[in-house]
Structures are given as structure tokens and as C-alpha cells.
Structure 1
């Protein structure tokens, strides 16, 4: 009997189309696992949704050297400001899910889901949470020329002068914007919102007396307050900041329902391999908890956190609900 004649049909069967597809899928899977295990092998881009000098930038920069050491690759900060952070977020949603493009995301990410009726992405489904890095209260500050020094004085002035108060923000949909909207709802004070493309230009506007005040991240306004160029009126957390222990909270100043904290974390595109997410999470958490990095961040007003991807995902879920209620109560909507 011809063995070759028997072997040939068997070989054809083993290499028939279904088997070839299975073997091909197995090869792709093996390649993907191998790629994830060797990650990273090239520079990583961290998208920053606001201009340099803002609170996201002030968190990212102190982390950079340590993060690059942990990952063994260059991390490039890419500033894509505009539309309340949605431009950078949309870029991440379209990025290849390989871990080489990530986003420094703020609390505005949860706000935007309700503030903008039409977004080019789903705030939850299109992203893989990596870690929540830090939280940060806002600081209600104003030019030295503003005719109020406390929250009660601000409320009294606003009610007596309904067309004179203006407040800056780092952009439509930013936490600094919605904090002002919530304050308006809680106090009945009329204020005109003036958005800027980032925290830095908004602070410059305050310094120039172009606006009455701003609910700004404490990290970016603190320097100007300590330099005597801006006045601190109140902080927005549920407790006083150790950086400004003499400045009361809005809550203790007669608006008990008002508490707003910012938060910062890292997202990757949905579909990023779990092994890659885990490596990013480990490097990021080790970086923010490093004694030297943490000390610098604390000096800027941040409370260092560092979570698991799952915990960050649960936090985003809760924030989406919380800010949806806040947006609806304020009546704010953006196109």
C-alpha cells in the first residue's frame, strides 16, 4: 500500500479551511500575548486635554522621570486642548488599543457625558480604566480688586448687583465651569460664565481683572495667592486644605450642599490587553507613591491615590451618575 497516498488526504483534511482559521487565530493570539508581555517596546504618548500649566500638566510633569524609569521608555506629553477635554478624549477613543496612547483624564470626563448631548465616544464603553492617580479640591479665588473677601460677601454682592459678576473656567464642561453652575443653583446668585482654553489663560484673565473670580484647581491658583496677586475666598472640598488652613470651605461658609473635588486618572482605549493595562497600572501607581514624587504633588495640593483599574472603573461609574444629576439640576447644556 502506498503510504503517501494515505497521508496526502489526511494532510488535506488537517489543513482544510476550518483548521487553517483555527491555527491562524491561535497564531494571532500567541503573538498578541507575546506583544503584551514585552510591552512597552516604543515611546508612549500621554494625551493631556488642556494646555501646559494647567492642573493636569502639573500632575503629569512631576511624574514623568519616574514613570519613564519604571516603563523603560520615553513618555511624551501631547497637549490637545479644546472643547472641555473632549478633543483629546475622542482621539484616545480612536487610538489603537495597544497601550502606546493613554490619556490623563479629569473629573470633566464624567461631567461631559451629560453636558454634551452628542459626543463621538461613550464615556465608559470606549475606554479601559488604568488608575485614578489623585484628587484635588478647587479654590474659589478672585482678583485683589473684587469687592468681596468671603462667600457671604460674594452672595450679598451678587444679589445686589445681578449683572456684574463673571466667573472664568478652564473651558466649557470643565469642573471649574460646572462648579460655578452648581454655585449659582445653590445660592441663587447670577454670574456670567466666561470659558478659556485651559486654566492658565483663565488665571491670567483673573490677574488682569477681566473676570470677578474662578473656581480653579488649587494647584494652579495657589502660587498666585501666595504671591499676593490673587485673593483666596474659599475651597470647595469637604474640609480645609492644609495648604491654606485659614481659608474656609464653601460648605462651612453658608452653602452646606456645596462640595466639589476634582480627580485625575489614566485611561487607555477599550480593548487594550489586560496585561498591558496591568503594567501601566503598576508603573503609574509606583510613580505617584514614590516619596519624592508624592511630596511634590502634595505641595501642589494633590491627594495621591493610585487605584486598581477595577476601582477606577467603579469610581467613574459613580461619577457619571453624580454629575448627571448635577448637570440636570443646573440646567447647563453645551453643543
Structure 2
């Protein structure tokens, strides 16, 4: 039995313990970090910043972008996968983490098992670009140019296993051309070298290609989707341009470390879904050819599984290997 003189103190301690437990249960109670595993300025970075700007006010905490490029997007993703499973560190995932995992033989983590998908963010086709002064004015002319000088043309990417890399390797496999891959630490530096003439072509995300297209510095030869994109109605698909059956549509997710409590994953999913339905975000992305997705955690897992099956088959069939 508790001494009557100690009862007020005991009651006070119970209240304090209850308050502490409640405080610990409230998520989020501090800023959240969204890791973009590529250099600033690329498609993943653009999408992450669009989401973060609106997600912070909804959660009542800042959502801070941190660019951690390296290893084709795996440096940043590994940091998240091996970090605390508390939901305070997110990662913007791409095909490198969600579909082309078979390409990597010596990763120090397992993207499929060490990362928990939270939500599908968006999808956007890539666009095959050459510099404005390139002699290739169509896919047919580009193929003729490549075949006239095997192994001479170069293409850039955001890194090994990136959407840019896989789109170009699928193109190589289906057209039987030979060109040289130049991997960068993100899409932005790859675009800079295309503009500077250091590389010959690029499968850039449509979302970030529009600025250069409007400036007249690059020429779009084809989009990688199965249908033409409304933002570039006069640009054919790669399939229309002569490579029958070609299709490559990059998709993006937000993931956390495996082991984050389901209640936190569910809360993040719900709040990001709300962000992706914001009319001004949709209006900003649609003219760039970016389709906001959203949906359940299960939807993200299902998409990743389907894409992994597709790209694993492509990697095997095309015998794609890292340099």
C-alpha cells in the first residue's frame, strides 16, 4: 500500500510517465530528412523538393532535402537503409533501388529487403536528346550515325543502373548498335556535358528536359513511353520512330529503412498521398510530362515487383554489366 504522504508524488510520476509516453508516440516530433541519392538539379531532386515543400507543413515539421550522390544512387540509399528505423530519414528511390537491383553484384546492403517502400511518387518518360547542332535529326539518323562509327558515340547517365542508363542499354540491345556509357553522379551533370559537347546523347527525364528544350539547346528525337506525351505532342515514341516494342518509363518512390513501425509508414503514406493530390503540384508537374501517382504501400510494393521482373529479364537478355 502506498503511504498517503507519497500518493500525490506517485500520481505526479504516473502523469509524467504518461505524458512522456504520449510525446514519444507523436510522430513527427522533429525535422525529417529526405535523402536524394543523386546530385541536385536532376529529376529525382526536382520531385523530392516538390513533395518536401508541401509535406513539411502537413506534418508540422521541416522536411529537409539532403543530396547524397554516389554509386549509382546507392550511397545515399545505403545510409537510409542502415540508419535508425524511426521514420525520420526517407529516401527518394528510383529504378536503381526498385527494379535494376540484379545489375549490382557487390552492394553492401540489399535494397529489396533493407528498404521499405512508403509510396509511389510519380512516373515520367525519358526523352532521347541530342545537342541542337547534332547531325542526327531523327532516331533513324542517329542509328545510321552510330552504325557508321561503332563504339564512337557516347551517352551519359545519372549513374550505373539509373533510369537513363537502363533506357539507353535497352535501346542498345534492341537496335544492336554500339556506343559508350559515361556514368555521372546525377542527371544534372550529365545534361551539362551534353550541352558542352562532351557526350553525344542522353535519355533524360522529361520532367527536367523541358527547360533545355525550351531554350533550344537540345533536340528531342523520341520519348520512351508507349504513347506520345501531351507535353511534347510532336515528338514520336521510340517505338513509332522505328524500334518496335521499345518502352521505358521511370517511376519514383519514397522509402524508409525496413523496421519502421507500420503506424509511421501509414502516416507518411497518408500525408504524401494528400500532397500528391494538391492541384498546384499537379499543375506544376503535368506540363513537364510528370504524372503524380500515390496510392497504398501495397501499390508501391506491387509496382516494384513488376518492374524488377521486367528489368531483371532485360539485364539477362542484354547481358548488361557494370563498367
1:231-268 C-alpha deviation (Å, 9 max, x unpaired): 11100001111111000000111111210000011101
C-alpha contact (below 8 Å) 2:128/2:204 kept by paired residues: yes
> Do residues 200 (structure 1) and 200 (structure 2) align?
no
* Aligned twin of 1:77: 65
> Do residues 163 (structure 1) and 173 (structure 2) align?
no
Mapped partners of 1:249, 1:32: distance in 2 = 58
> Do residues 287 (structure 1) and 275 (structure 2) align?
yes
Q: CA, structure 1 residues 275+228, in 2 after alignment: closer, same or farther (shift >3 Å)? A: same
Mapped partners of 2:307, 2:181: distance in 1 = 23
1:259-290 C-alpha deviation (Å, 9 max, x unpaired): 00000111011111111001101111111110
Task: Give SS of 1:253's match.
Answer: coil
Residue 297 of structure 1, aligned match among 282, 285, 296? 285
* Aligned twin of 1:265: 253
* Aligned twin of 1:23: none
Stretches of structure 1 lacking an aligned partner (at least 5 in a row): 5-29
The 5 A counterparts of 1:84-233 are 84-233=72-221
- The count of corresponding residues between Structure 1 and Structure 2 is 307
Mapped partners of 1:33, 1:134: distance in 2 = 36
C-alpha contact (below 8 Å) 1:113/1:119 kept by paired residues: no
TM-superposed deviation, 1:163: 3.2
TM-superposed deviation, 1:164: 2.5
Mapped partners of 1:133, 1:33: distance in 2 = 33
Mapped partners of 2:76, 2:95: distance in 1 = 14
Residue 65 of structure 1, aligned match among 53, 59, 65? 53
C-alpha contact (below 8 Å) 1:109/1:123 kept by paired residues: yes
TM-superposed deviation, 1:136: 0.7
Q: CA, structure 1 residues 174+35, in 2 after alignment: closer, same or farther (shift >3 Å)? A: farther
Task: Give SS of 2:155's match.
Answer: strand
Q: CA RMSD in A?
A: 1.9
TM-superposed deviation, 1:63: 2.4
TM-superposed deviation, 1:123: 2.2
* Aligned twin of 1:249: 237
C-alpha contact (below 8 Å) 1:84/1:112 kept by paired residues: no
92-101 vs 106-115, greater mean Cα deviation = 106-115
TM-superposed deviation, 1:201: 0.8
60-69 vs 166-175, greater mean Cα deviation = 60-69
The runs of 4+ residues in structure 1 deviating greater than 3 Å are: 30-37
Mapped partners of 1:142, 1:204: distance in 2 = 12
Alignment TM-score, normalising by the size of structure 1:
0.88
* Aligned twin of 2:295: 307
Residue 321 of structure 1, aligned match among 285, 309, 314? 309
C-alpha contact (below 8 Å) 2:95/2:161 kept by paired residues: no
* Aligned twin of 2:27: 39
Residue 48 of structure 1, aligned match among 36, 43, 67? 36
Mapped partners of 2:21, 2:162: distance in 1 = 38
1:130-176 C-alpha deviation (Å, 9 max, x unpaired): 10011010010011121111111111221122132111111111110
Task: Give SS of 1:68's match.
Answer: helix
TM-superposed deviation, 1:34: 4.9
* Aligned twin of 1:21: none
TM-superposed deviation, 1:112: 4.0
Task: Give SS of 1:318's match.
Answer: helix
* Aligned twin of 2:9: none
Mapped partners of 1:176, 1:332: distance in 2 = 14
Alignment TM-score, normalising by the size of structure 2:
0.91
